[in-house]
Amino acid sequence: MAKKIPDTLAPATWPRWPAGPEGQSLMLSAARFQADMLQTALRGQIEALSFMKNRSEQHLQLWEDLLASDYARDGFDLYCAFWRNAFQDYAEEAERFTQIGADLATQTAKRVSEEQEEFTGKVARQIAM
């Protein structure tokens, strides 16, 4: 028989929870949640970097077009078109980024909820036995 090590931090009135396979599934659930958060963070960084790469290329193209234009009016039109496109791109990217975050949060919440229900069922079956 294994020795029980008393937990001095938990009062004696706390219920004793099963620590068998359910404890393992709880830990795996927490690890999956952390993996989802890391995946979300890395995906966000990839999206942001690809957007910034695209905007930097467009900025470079603006300067090339400005240097190639012969008239000041052409330069002003190029400059206004650049900023109009930039604001539109930033708005579209913000919407896209928000949608990606919402989709990932929905998937994660759904999976955590399913795992919690499964865990609660296992604990209830074990207690009923």
* Each residue's pLDDT tens digit, 95-114: 998 998 888 889 888 888 88
Q: Where are the domains of the chain?
A: 33-128
| pLDDT value, residue 5 | 53
Model confidence, pTM: 0.61
- Cα radius of gyration (the chain): 28
- Tens of pLDDT, residues 29-53: 778 888 888 988 898 899 899 999 9
